[in-house]
Amino acid sequence: MEYAGGQTKKAENTTGKTAVITGATSGIGLAALKQLASLGFCVIGVGRDAKRCAETEASIRREVPGARVDYLVADLASQRQVRDLAAAIRRLLEMENGGCLDLLVNNAGAVSSWYVTTEDGYEMQFAVNHLAPFLLTRELLPLLKKAGSARVITTSSGSHYNTRINWRDVMYRRGYNCLRAYKQSKLANVLFTSEFNRRQGPGSGIRAYAVDPGLVNTAIGEKGTNGFVSWFWRIRRKRGVGPEIAAGTIVHLATTPVLEDPEAIYWKDCRPKRPSRYSQRKDAGRRLWELSERLTR
C-alpha cells in the first residue's frame, strides 16, 4: 500500500475491524472513510446534516463494492448530542461486532470568524475541536478497551506551534480572535493525545495519535467565516493537497501494525514529527484534562 510521501508499507489484515470517523461527509474525513471501507473496515461515519449523511452513505455503497458503512447524525457542538451519538454507536457495534471499536478518528472541526457559544455556553471552536473529541473518546473508551488493541487518532494542525493555552480566558470571551482560538484548540488536541497516553499507561493496548494534515484543499476555512478570513482561505487552499493525500496519514496509523516510531504521538505525511515543547508539558496536559472533565461534567 502506498501512502502520502511515497512510502510503501505493509498493512495488517483489517477485514472485520471497526472504525468511527467524525466529520465524515466531506474533506479529510470522507477520504479516510472511503479508504478504510475499501480495506474492509466496518465504518461508522458521523455528520451533522441528515440529508448529506444519507446521500454520502449511498454514494459510498455505490463506489466501494461490499462496503460496510453506516452514518449517524450529530452536531458535535452539543455535548448532549455527543452523548447520544456515543449511545447510538454502542448499540450499533453491539449488534454488528460484539461491542468492539478498533479505531476512533476525531476529525470534525470548526472555524468561526466571530465569537459564538454553543448550547452548553462554550466557545464554538474549543467546543467542537477539543471538548467533543475529549468527551466522545471518554464515552467510547469501554468499546476501545474491549477491542484489546485500538487507536485514537485526532486531526490537529501545525497551527499548534508557537501557542499556549489561555488559562485565564480559555473561551476567549474577552478580546476574541478567530486565529488564536483555532490555534489553541489544535494545541489542545496534541495535549489531549499526550495526556491520554500517559493516563492509559505503557501497558495499554490503546494508543492515541495526533495528525498534522498540512495545508489541505477543503472548505473548512469558509464554513464559519466571512470577510477577509473567508477570502484568504479561498485563495490559500488552492495551494493545498487533496483530502485523499491528507487522509493517507490517518490510514497509515490505522493499518500499520508496528509503526516506525511507536512512541511518537504526532504524525505528518506518514512520518513522526516533533510537536511543540509546550504540547508535551505534563503539567499543561494534566491541567487541560482536569478542566475538560469539569466542562463536560
Catalytic residue set: 182
Edge-to-edge order in the sheet of strand 206-211: 68-73, 42-47, 18-22, 103-106, 150-155, 206-211, 266-268, 271-272
The DSSP annotation for 188-208 comes to HHHHHHHHHHHHH-TT-SEEE
> Going along the chain, which residue ranges are E strands?
18-22, 42-47, 68-73, 103-106, 150-155, 206-211, 266-268, 271-272
* Residues 39 and 248: beta-carbon distance below 8 Å: no
> What is the 3-class SS of 36-54, one letter each residue?
HHHCCCEEEEEECCHHHHH
Cell of 170: 480559555
* Residue given cell 479508504 in the structure block: 35
- Taking CA atoms, 215 is separated from 80, 147, 265, 285, in Å, by 32, 33, 20, 26
- Cell representation of residue 104: 476512533
- What is the distance between the alpha carbons of residues 18 and 143, in angstroms, rounded to a whole number? 10
Half-sphere exposure of 197 (CA within 13 A, CB side): 21
